[in-house]
Chains A and B, each alone.
Chain A
Amino acid sequence: MARKRVTPVGAFDRDLVRGALVDAIWKLDPRRQKENPVMLAVEIGGILTTLSFLAALASPGAEPALFSGLVSLWLWLTVYFSNVAESLSEGRGKARAASLRASRTGVAARRLSSASLTAPSEEVPSTALAPGDHVLVRQGDLIPSDGEVVAGAVLVNEAAITGESAPVVRESGGDRSAVTGGTTVLVNEAVVRITAAPGQTFLDRMIAMVEGAERRKTPNELALEVLLFALTGVFVVVVANLYPVSAYSAASSGQGAAVGLTVLVALFVCLAPTTIAALLPAIGIAGMDRLFQRNVVALSGRAIEAAGDVNVLLLDKTGTITLGNRQAVAFVPVNGQAHAALVEASLLASFADETPEGRSIVDLARESGAVGTCPDDAVFVPFSAHTRQSGVDCGGVRYRKGAADTIVHEVTAAGGAVPPDFEAKVHGIAAAGGTPLAVSRDAAILGVVHLKDILKPGIRERFEDLRQIGIRTTMITGDNHLTAAAIAAEAGVDDFLGEAKPDDKLRLIRDRQAEGYMVAMTGDGTNDAPALAQADVAVAMNNGTQPAREAANIIDLDSDPTKLLEIVEIGKQILMTRGALTTFSIANDIAKYFAIIPAALVGIYPALSVLNVMGLATPYSAVLSAVIFNALVIPMLVPLALKGVPFRPIPADRLFLSNLVVYGGSGVIAPFIGIKLIDLLVAGVLHL
C-alpha cells in the first residue's frame, strides 16, 4: 500500500541532530537533570572534580590539574551524551507533533442549535465547543473537534492523522460514524455531535504522546530504576568507604596516600550504571516512535509495555485472519426446492446488503442468470449483529438470509418445517470451512449459500511465531462451531470461539484474566467497546466508532487488525533493549575495576600492579581512559537504543541465553579492549 507520510522523519535527520545537540546543553540544568537521578549523581561528580581542577590550578595539589581537568571534561560529556540521546528521541516526536499541531490551529466551527442540517448556526472558535454540541461541516472544512456524524455523510481526508491520503466515508449510523478533529471534509456536508472537550481531542492526546509530554514512567521502568538507583547508592558507599580504608592502608604501610577526589569520583561514575541510565528515557520514547512509524498511536506507554506481556490474543476472524470479503461460491438447494428459486431468493435477500459478502451473492446470482425485481414498496431489513440476518419484504413475501439457526428460528416461527436434509447441507459446507448462509422464503427454507473464507497470506506462519514466544491466539467469529473449527485448523490458531455474541468476548476476556493471562484484542465496533475496555491491550481501528476508540489504549491509524502482532513485538523490544543494556552496563564494571583499582592503590601497595591486567600506561592514564570509555559508549549505543534489540520469535530460554551471551559477553570484553585502546592514545598523546 502506497502511503504518504505527513512528515518524513529519518532517524538522524540533520536538523534533528542539531536541535538535540543544543537542547542537551539546556538539560544540564540540575533541576531538569533530576528526572534521571543516576545522571544527576554523575553531574554532581562532575561539579566536584571541576572544583578540584580549579583548586589545582590555583595551587598544585596531589592530583595534576591536567588530569582532574580532563576527567571533569569527560564527566560533563557523559551527562551531555545522555541528554543528547534523550533529546534525539524526543526530537523525532516533536517534529511529528509540530506537523500535527498545524492542523489544529484556528479552526472556526459552525455550531448548530439542533442536530439538523438545516438548523440555524453560529460561528464559534473550535476551542469553545463542548461535548454534546452539534456542528455543521461542509466541503473544504477542517473538522473542528472529535465527534460522531449524526446526520448526513461526508468524504473525509484523514491524511493529517493517518498519513493516508485515500479519502474515507464517514456517515451516520453503523460503525463508520466517528470523525477526528483536524481532518478535512472533501465532499458533502454533515452534522457532527462533538464528543471531546477542548484539549482532550484525539489530536491533542496524540500530540502529547508523540511529544513525550505525557510520558509517565511505566511500571517496568520504575522497577528497573529501583535497581539502578540501588546500585548507584551502593557505589556511592563503596567509594565513600574507599577513602578512609585507603587512608588507613597508606598510613599503616607507610607509603602512598589516600585515593584522591578525582579518582574517587571517576571510579564512582565508571561503576554507576550510567550506560543504561543515560539511554533509558530514549529507549521508551524511541519505542513509541517506532510504533508511530507503523502508524500506531499508543495512548499510554503502559499499553505498549503490556503488549510485550500479552499471552492471549483475541482476534476477530474477519479482516484479521481471513480477508474481509467472503465470496459466495455456490447455491445449494435443499431437496424439493428448485435451484433457480434459491438463486432468485438469494438475490432478493441480498439486494440491500452492501457488505462484500452480500455483493458477492448478488454477483454470483446474476451470473447464474437471475433477475430479481421487487415492487417499490419493498422494505429492506439490514443485517444486525444481534438478529444475524438480513433480507427484504418484497410484495408481501419475506425473503431472509442469515445464519442457519436464526433462519430455522425464523421459519419455525412462521409455522414452517425444517427440511430433513437441511442440516446435513449446512454441516457439509461448514465442515469444509465455508460459511453456510441459509435462505428462506416466508415459511420455507430454500437452501444454503456457500460462502468461502480466504485466509490472509502468511497468517499461519505468524501464529506459529506467536506460539513460539508463548502467545496463544483465540479466533472469535460469529460463524457456527463447525465452520469456525475448520478455519481455525486451517489458520493454525490455538483456540476459537464460534457463534460469538458481543458479550461473549467480554466474558472470554474476563475468564482469561482471572486465570492470570494478559489479554490483547482488536476491535472497531461500538459493541466491542466493553471488551476493549476490559482487555489489557486494546487496539481500536481508526475507522472504528468513537466509543471503540475511547475504550482502547492503542489506535491503529491504518485500521489493520494484524498490526497487533507488530505492537506485541515492539513492546517486547523495548523491554529487551532495557535488559540488554542493563546487563551490558553492569558487565562493564569488571573491566573498569581492573583499570581503576590498581591505578588508585598501586602507590600504597606496589604489588597490586599485577591487577593491571590491561597493562595500562600510568595510573592517571588508566583512570582517564576508563572515564572516556564510559562516556563514549553512550553515543555508540544510541543507535541500538533507538532501533531496539532485534526481536526473534524463539522460546524464552533460548532467547535469554543468546541475549545473555551477546550483551553480557560483549559487556565483559568490550571495555577491556576499548580502555586499552584509549589508554594507548591518551598515554601516547598526553604523556599523562
Chain B
Amino acid sequence: MTYPDPLLDAAGVMVFLLLLTGAAVLLGRYLARLFFRERPPSIVGMLEAPVYRLLGIDPSAEETWRGYARDLLLFNGIGLAFLFVLLLLQGVLPLNPAEVPGFAPALALNTAVSFVTNTNWQAYAGEAAASYLSQMAGFTVQNFLSAATGLAVAVALVRGLSRRETDRIGNFWVDLTRAVLGLLLPLALVAALLLASQGVIQNLDPYIQTASAHQAIAMGPVASQEAIKELGTNGGGFFNANAAHPFENPSPFTNLVEVFLLLLVPAAVPFMFGEAIGDRRQGYVLFGVMLALFLGAFAALYAAELAGNPLLSDVTGIPMEGKEVRFGLAGTVLYATATTATSCGAVNAMHDSLTPLGGLVPLGLILLGEVVLGGIGSGFYTLIAFVVIAVFIAGLMIGRTPEYLGKKIGAFEMQMAVVAVLTSGVLVLVLSGIALALPAGTDSILNPGAHGLTEVVYAFASMANNNGSAFAGLDATALFYTLAGSIAMAVGRFVPIVAILALAGAVAARKTVPPSFGTLPTHTLPFAVWLVLVILIVGALTFFPIFAMGPIAEQLQMAGGV
C-alpha cells in the first residue's frame, strides 16, 4: 500500500470525467433520436413493433399527463405485485440451488417496493436470502423496468417543455419500450460481457462448499445483474457485500468500468434534453451544474478521507480505514461519490466507516434530492423542478413573470415543482423524527450517539430519495424499518413522478414566449451558479440541524479525542 497522491488522483479523475462527458454527449444525441424523432432508429423500430402488437398498443396514440401517469402507476403496480408474490413463493419455485426459503411478508413488501422504485435498498443478504429465479426474473427485470420508468418520465417532461398548446405528452408504453429495447438491453449486454471477461462470475451453479466445509462460496448469474445494476442506477447487489465483493467487482479496472456505467445514462440525459429542445446550451448548463456539484463533493470526500481519523493515524500511517485495498483511497472515494451523486446506491465500501465529515458527503449528495446526475431520468426531472424554483425567484428579481424555455411559471407549475423537490426531504425529517422518538426505531441503532443518528437519517435519506445504499450500522430488518422504509421509497418515488408529469402537462399546454433582452437567459454562467446556490441552500436549510447533531458533532468529538 502506498500513500495516496492527490495530484495523480485528481488527474486520473479528470481524464475519467472527460471520457465520461464525451460518451454522454454521444449517448445524449442518440437518446434524442430514440425518443424525439418521428421514427426511432430502424433496428429499434423492428424490435418494438411486435411488442406493441402483443400488448395491443397504438404507438402513435399519445396520452395526456393523466393518462401517462395512470399507465405508469398501473405498470409499476403490476410489477410490484409480481415481485412481491415471487419473493414469497421463491422457496417452492425452481432455480433455487441454495434452497433458500420464501421471504417473510414485510421483507417481501420492502424488497418489492425497493426494486420497483429503482431504490434497491436491501434489507436482506442477496446470497443468503434470494434464489436465482428471484435474482433474475425478479430483481434484474425490475432493474430494467424501474430505470426505464424514470427515463420515460424525463422524456415526457422534455416533451412538455418543447411543445406548445397541446395536452399530449407522449405514450408511456412507447417510451418504456424504447428505453428498454433501444438503450438498456443493448448497453447491458455489452457491459455484462465486458464485466464477465474481467472476472465477474456468470453461472447457475450451486454454491461451492470449501474443503473445510465451514464455508460456502456463493455463485450465481452475477455479471448480467451487475451490468444493469450500474447502468440503470439501481444498485442492488447480487451479494450482500455489493460491489466490494470480488465476484461483483474484481479489480480496479472493473471498479472504473462500474463507476463509468452508473454515471453514463444520468450524464447523457441533459445532453438529450439540449438536443430535443433545439438548444444544446440549456443541456450544457444542467450538465455543468451536475458536474460542478460532483467535483465539489469528490474533492470534499477525498480531503476528509485523506485527513483520516486522527485517533488511528499512528496505527497504519495510511488513511485506509474501511476501504478495499483493491481500489485504494481514490477508487473508494470515486465510487462513493458516484453512487450517491447518482441514485445508484451500489457500494464498494461501507459509508459507515468513512470519517464523520466524509460520511456527510454521500449523505449530503443524497439529501440534495439526487439531482447531482441522480437516477436515470429522475435526476434530470428533479433538477428541472429545482430549475423552476430558481427561475421563479430569479425571474421576479428582473421584474417579469418568470419563464423557463418560454414557459411561464404560474402557481400550478410552482406547486408541482415544490412537491417534486421537497417530498423526499419531508419524508426523511418526518420518518427519522418518528424513528428516534420510538424504541422500535432506536433499538436498531448499533452505534448510539451522533453516529447512530447519522445511520438512521442516512437510511431514510437513501430510501426516500431512491438511492438504496446503506450507511450500515443499522439493523434495517426490524419491522419498523421495513414498513417505514416501504412508505419512504414508494412515496419518495411516485409522488414526485406524478407531480413532474403534471408539470409536463401544464407547460405543454402553455404558449411559448419568444426570448428577448427582457428574458432571463438560462444558458449562462450566472444562472448556473444561481442554480447551484438554490440547490445547496434548499438542502442546507432543510438539514442543517441534523447535520449539526450527526456528522458535525461526531467530527468535533473525534477531533476532541473522543
Contact = CB atoms under 8 A, between A and B. Distances in A.
A515 to B, nearest CB: 6
A469 B518 contact: yes
Judged by DSSP, the binding face of B is helix
A220 B401 contact: yes
A657 interface: yes
Interface string B447-488: 011101100000000000000000000000000000000000
B513 A656 contact: no
Nearest to A254: B449
A244 B434 contact: yes
Given A226-B414, A572-B399, A655-B398, A245 B553 contact: no
B409 interface: yes
A660 B437 CA distance: 41
B399 A576 contact: yes
Contact of B513 (A311, A578, A582): A311
Interface string A464-500: 0001111110000000000000000000000000000
A348 B561 CA distance: 107
A242 interface: yes
Interface centre among B434, B436, B520, B542 (most CB of A within 10 A): B436
A601 B399 contact: no
A253 B450 CA distance: 8
Interface stretch (A55-63, A79-87, A232-240): A232-240
B548 A576 contact: no
Contacts of A610: 556
Contacts of A607: 553, 556-557, 559-560
B432 A575 contact: no
Contact of A604 (B389, B518, B519, B549): B549
A576 B430 contact: no
Interface string A505-518: 00000000001111
Interface string B106-150: 000000000000000000000000000000000000000000000
Interface stretch (A201-209, A437-445, A646-654): A646-654
A238 B518 contact: no
Contact of A597 (B415, B422, B526, B548): B548
Given A234-B426, A309-B401, A656-B526, A244 B517 contact: no
Interface centre among B394, B398, B437, B537 (most CB of A within 10 A): B398
B521 A653 contact: yes
A472 B542 CA distance: 43
A246 interface: yes
B513 A241 contact: no
Interface in B370-397: 389, 392-397
A534 B453 CA distance: 60
Interface in A143-190: none
B545 interface: yes
Interface residues of B, number: 66
A222 interface: yes
Contact of B546 (A241, A311, A587, A590): A241
B433 A241 contact: yes
A308 B519 CA distance: 12
Nearest to B407: A516
Given A252-B448, A470-B518, A575 B401 contact: yes
Contact of B426 (A237, A578, A604): A237
Contacts of B422: 230, 233-234
Interface string B514-551: 10111111001011001000000100111011101100
Nearest to A218: B401
Interface string A577-597: 011101100110110010001
B425 interface: yes
A351 interface: no
A660 B511 CA distance: 28
Contacts of A241: 429-430, 432-433, 545-546
Contacts of A230: 418, 422
Contacts of B557: 605, 607
B127 to A, nearest CB: 34
A224 B448 CA distance: 42
B512 interface: yes
Interface centre among B406, B432, B449 (most CB of A within 10 A): B449
B434 to A, nearest CB: 7
A663 interface: yes
Contacts of A470: 516-519
B545 A226 contact: no
A310 to B, nearest CB: 9
Interface centre among B164, B512, B546, B553 (most CB of A within 10 A): B553
A571 interface: yes
Nearest to B547: A597
Contacts of B401: 219-220, 305, 308-309, 575
Given A237-B426, A308-B400, A575-B399, A227 B521 contact: no
A470 B527 CA distance: 18
B548 A655 contact: no
A37 to B, nearest CB: 14
Given A237-B426, A576-B397, A226 B516 contact: no
A247 B397 contact: no
Given A234-B542, A516-B406, A517-B513, A224 B553 contact: no
Interface string A301-314: 00001001101000
B409 to A, nearest CB: 6
Given A248-B436, A608-B553, A226 B418 contact: yes
A383 B352 CA distance: 89
B124 to A, nearest CB: 27
A242 B545 contact: yes
A244 B556 contact: no
B514 A656 contact: no
A542 to B, nearest CB: 27
A582 B541 contact: no
A226 B400 contact: no
A652 B442 CA distance: 52
A575 B400 contact: yes
Nearest to B522: A653
Contact of A579 (B397, B426, B517, B521): B397
B549 A653 contact: no
Contacts of A220: 396, 401
Contact of A471 (B402, B518, B559): B518
Given A579-B395, A652-B517, A223 B544 contact: no
A223 B413 contact: yes
A249 B517 contact: no
Contacts of A237: 426, 429-430
Contacts of A590: 537, 540
Contacts of B545: 238, 241-242, 245, 593, 597, 600-601
B407 to A, nearest CB: 10
B552 interface: yes
A652 B437 contact: no
B393 A219 contact: no
Contacts of B518: 311, 469-471, 651-652
A672 B553 CA distance: 23
A219 B520 contact: no
A459 interface: no
B541 to A, nearest CB: 6
A471 B530 CA distance: 25
Interface string A643-680: 00001000111011101100100000000000000000
Given A249-B450, A249-B549, A655-B398, A238 B429 contact: yes
13 contacts: A223-B392, A223-B402, A234-B422, A471-B516, A516-B511, A574-B399, A579-B399, A593-B544, A607-B556, A608-B552, A608-B553, A608-B556, A660-B526
Given A608-B552, A660-B394, 17 more contacts: A220-B401, A223-B410, A234-B425, A237-B426, A240-B429, A248-B453, A311-B514, A470-B519, A472-B516, A598-B548, A601-B549, A605-B549, A607-B559, A608-B556, A610-B556, A659-B397, A659-B398
Closest 9 pairs (CB-CB, A-B): A470-B518, A579-B396, A572-B399, A470-B516, A607-B556, A579-B397, A244-B437, A470-B517, A241-B433
